[in-house]
Amino acid sequence: MACEVNQLAPFLGPNTTDAVAAATYICSQFSDVSNKFVDTGYAIDSTYLLFSAYLVFSMQLGFAMLCAGSVRAKNTMNIMLTNVLDAAAGGLFYYLFGFAFAWGGPSNGFIGRHFFGLKEIPSSSFDYSNFLYQWAFAIAAAGITSGSIAERTQFVAYLIYSSFLTGFVYPVVSHWFWAPDGWASPTNSNLLFGSGVIDFAGSGVVHMVGGIAGFYGALIEGPRIGRFDHAGRSVALRGHSASLVVLGTFLLWFGWYGFNPGSFNKILVTYGTSGGYYGQWSAVGRTAVTTTLAGCTAALTTLFGKRILSGHWNVTDVCNGLLGGFAAITAGCSVVEPWAAIICGFIAALVLIGCNKLAEIFKYDDPLEAAQLHGGCGAWGIIFTALFAKGSYVDQVYPGKPGRPHGLFMGGGGKLLGAHIIQILVIFGWVTATMGPLFYILHKFKLLRISSEDEMAGMDLTRHGGFAYYHDEDLKHGTQMRRIEPTSSS
């Protein structure tokens, strides 16, 4: 709304001493109030995004606790240190390069080219809160990979891959599917198949990228010593603390409410006419509900599925199943009905169980099941969205192109499914072409895997000055650490 002096002055009447001056004063006051509402809108949206960023960052603590509980006690300090370094190194490299490669526009469809070192920030498009939120996503992808290569990886390899992943590999993928200029973004004017890819919070962009990167790291390194016996049978190398696994899982669950609902970036957006009860705030709530239902369903499905297969109730398996449901619903959380989220979680649990069986058959070792959970369930989430995305929700979340293709099972045709199949293929190809050679080069230069002697002793003792847990004898006599050169390989 605008206040025009020439329109207001005639209504003040002939007895007004100076109608123009009075109208000018009234309009100035009206403009001040209007500007305050604009300022309030920016403040509300920025506060919402910052709070979401804090929630997503809290997931790093969840990752750290989950990883710590899932490895053996002799490698606890090592895996927790890698989680700290994922955040620290990722922060610098995402600041210098990653944010620009992901969001620097105007640009081409492949990679961004502005905002290096946050130059020209803040702008009409991005504020510092956008950087913080996207950085939290980038380090989440790096944290996924660290779980796959736990308990046998040299520390220098962690630093190299984490910097490369957060500074280049992940940002390019996020540019493709999220940036306004991205070739498959749903906000690009030249939409892929008329729809673009609907990967709202990153089942593909975050989870598949991190899971596939971890897959190649673990594949090139090979399984941990003792993971498979001489006959090729699987031997469980269980983590040392189910308590830490459960604590990490609940922290990740809590953080996921910033990961998925926070991906709206704004909350003060009306759908249709202002003054109603329904707006983007309702979509935010619906997204939190679909996230919750998918995780709960996946947890229960895993509980009973593993009970049938193994004969006992396993809390670690249930936690992984829960996280698999979250990873799957992340792509379509904002555009599906709550009942569809239950289907998503149910199948995600089956996908995770099936991927773990395949891992055993092919003697693939991932201590946290990260590649199976984030890669497998993430891929299912992309397919799920293409099947169950509701047309009205898609139009609300991605305005500007009414009637765009939506879920196949919801009457939207197969164009969205075609776009999502392309997304899976290009993410797999891109991560294969970048992270695969990186891990192979590290392996060839003997910078990837520690020696068998160090692996048996545990990296806490040989690399980090002592164990994470101390006994009385350790405190009396101290612990000895010998110098280890990064030249040995198993």
Residue 13: pLDDT band with limits 50, 70, 90: low
- Judge whether residue 485 has pLDDT over 60: no
- Judge whether residue 248 has pLDDT over 90: yes
Residue 452 is assigned to a structural domain of this protein: yes
Residue 161 is assigned to a structural domain of this protein: yes
Average pLDDT of the residues in 459-480: 69
Residue 490: pLDDT band with limits 50, 70, 90: very low
Total-model pTM: 0.91
Helices vs. strands in the chain: H and E counts, helices first:
19, 0
Residue 37 is assigned to a structural domain of this protein: no
Q: Of 448, 447, 436, give the one whose Cα is nearest residue 165.
A: 436
What is the rounded CA–CA span in Å between residue 327 and residue 163? 23
Residue 24: pLDDT band with limits 50, 70, 90: confident
- Judge whether residue 484 has pLDDT over 50: no
Domain that holds residue 217: 52-113+135-267+286-464
- Judge whether residue 473 has pLDDT over 80: no
Number of domains in the chain: 1
pLDDT at 32: 75
Residue 119 is assigned to a structural domain of this protein: no
pLDDT at 275: 78
pLDDT at 16: 59
Q: Are 176 and 185 in contact (CB under 8 A)?
A: yes
pLDDT per residue as tens digits for the range 267-300: 999 987 777 889 999 999 999 999 999 999 999 9
Q: Are 380 and 335 in contact (CB under 8 A)?
A: no
What is the rounded CA–CA span in Å between residue 82 and residue 87? 9
- Judge whether residue 10 has pLDDT over 80: no
Residue 16 is assigned to a structural domain of this protein: no
pLDDT at 333: 97
Number of residues assigned to the chain:
490
- Judge whether residue 369 has pLDDT over 90: yes
- Judge whether residue 186 has pLDDT over 70: yes
Q: What is the CATH number of the domain that holds 139?
A: 1.10.3430.10
Residue 446 is assigned to a structural domain of this protein: yes
What contacts 425, CB < 8 A, 6 or more positions away?
none
Residue 244 is assigned to a structural domain of this protein: yes
Output the CA angle 351-354-359, nearest 5 degrees.
120
Q: Of 340, 316, 418, 423, give the one whose Cα is nearest residue 378.
A: 423
Residue 46 is assigned to a structural domain of this protein: no
**Of 24 and 94, more confident:** 94
The tokens for 327 are 């990873």
Q: Are 377 and 217 in contact (CB under 8 A)?
A: no
Q: How many CB atoms lie within 10 A of CB 489?
A: 16
- Judge whether residue 324 has pLDDT over 90: yes
